Amino acid sequence: MLAKIGIRPVIDGRQFGIRESLEVQTMELAKIAADFITKNVRHASGEPVECVIADSTIGGIAESAACREKFSKENVVATLTVSPCWCYVTQVIDEDPNTIKAVWGFNGTERPGAVFLAAAMSAYAQNGMPCFSIYGHDVKDIGDKEIPDDVAEKILRFAKCATAIGDIRAKSYVNIGAVSMGIAGSYCNEDFFRSYLGMHVEWVDMSEIIRREKLGIYDEAEYEKALAWIKENCKEGRDVNPTPGMFYQRTHLTDEEKEENWKFIAKMTCIFMDIMHGNDKLAEKGWLEEAKGKNAILGGFQGQRNWTDFMPNADFSEAILNSTFDWNGKREPIPFATENDGLNGVTLLFLHQLTNKAAIFADVRTYWSPAAVERVTGWKPEGVAANGFIHMINSGAAALDGTGAVTNEDGENIMKEWWDMTDKDIKACLDNTKWCCANLGYFRGGGFSSSFSTKGVMPCTFARVNYVKNLGPTIQIVEGYTVELPEDVNKALLERTDPTWPSTWFAPICNNEACKDVYTVMANWGANHGAFVYGHVGDDLITLASMLRIPVSLHNVAEGRIFRPHA
- Residues acting as catalytic residues: 339, 363
SS3 214: helix
What sign does the dihedral 129-130-132-135 (CA atoms) show? positive
Query: Between the CA of residue 531 and those of 48, 397, 473, what are the distances in Å?
Result: 26, 12, 16
* Nearest residue to 446 (alpha-carbon basis) of 279, 296, 285, 259: 259
Measured CA to CA, the distance from residue 480 to residue 515 in angstroms comes to 11
Measured CA to CA, the distance from residue 27 to residue 297 in angstroms comes to 36
Please provide the DSSP assignment of 227-295 as one string. Answer: HHHHHHH--B-----S-TT---SSS---HHHHHHHHHHHHHHHHHHHHHHH--HHHHHTT-HHHHT---
SS3 525: coil
Query: Between the CA of residue 159 and those of 92, 144, 522, what are the distances in Å?
Result: 21, 22, 33
Query: Between the CA of residue 290 and those of 212, 218, 436, what are the distances in Å?
Result: 9, 9, 32
Total H helices, total E strands in the chain: 18, 22
Please answer whether residues 162 and 182 qualify as being in contact, where contact means their C-beta atoms are separated by less than 8 angstroms: no
Measured CA to CA, the distance from residue 7 to residue 24 in angstroms comes to 15
Please answer whether residues 483 and 457 qualify as being in contact, where contact means their C-beta atoms are separated by less than 8 angstroms: yes
SS3 34: helix
My answer on whether omega of the bond before 508 falls inside 30° of 0, hence cis, is no
- Strand ranges, E, within 128-170: 132-134
